Chains A and B, each alone.
Chain A
Amino acid sequence: MAGILVLGAGKLALGDMLFILISFILLTWAVKHFAWGPVTKMMDARSDKITSDLDYADSERASAEKLKKEREDALKNSRAEAIEIVNKAKDNGDEQKKTIVSQAHSEAESVRQKAKSDAEKAKQDAMNEAQNDIANLSLEIASKVISKELNADDQKSLIDSYIKELTVNNETK
Chain B
Amino acid sequence: MDDKYKFIDFLGLRFNVANCLSALVVALLVFILVFALSRKVTMKPGKAQNVLEWMIDFTNSIVKSAFPGESGNRFSLYAFVLFLFIFISNQLGLILQVKVDGFTYLKSPTANPIVTMSLALVSLLLAHYYSVRKFGFGGYIANFARPVSFLTPVNLLEEFTNFLTLSLRLYGNIFAGEVLLALIGTVAKSFGAVSFVVAIPLEMIWQGFSVFIGAIQAYVFTTLSMVYISRKMTKE
Contact = CB atoms under 8 A, between A and B. Distances in A.
Interface size class of A (residues with CB under 8 A): 35 or more
B13 to A, nearest CB: 4
B77 interface: yes
A168 interface: no
B98 interface: no
A18 B41 CA distance: 34
Q: Helix, strand, loop or mixed for chain B's interface?
A: helix
Interface string B1-16: 0001111111001111
A110 B117 CA distance: 129
A57 interface: no
A36 B115 contact: no
B15 A34 contact: no
B23 to A, nearest CB: 5
Q: Helix, strand, loop or mixed for chain A's interface?
A: helix
Contact of A42 (B7, B13, B43): B43
Interface stretch (B24-32, B129-137, B144-152, B186-194): B24-32
Contacts of B43: 42, 45-46, 49
B7 A5 contact: yes
Interface of A: 1-8, 11-21, 23-24, 26-28, 30-32, 34-36, 38-40, 42-43, 45-46, 49
Interface of B: 4-10, 13-16, 19-20, 23-24, 27, 30-31, 34-35, 37-38, 41-43, 45, 49, 52-53, 56, 76-78, 80-81, 84-85, 103, 109, 112, 114-115, 117-119, 121-122
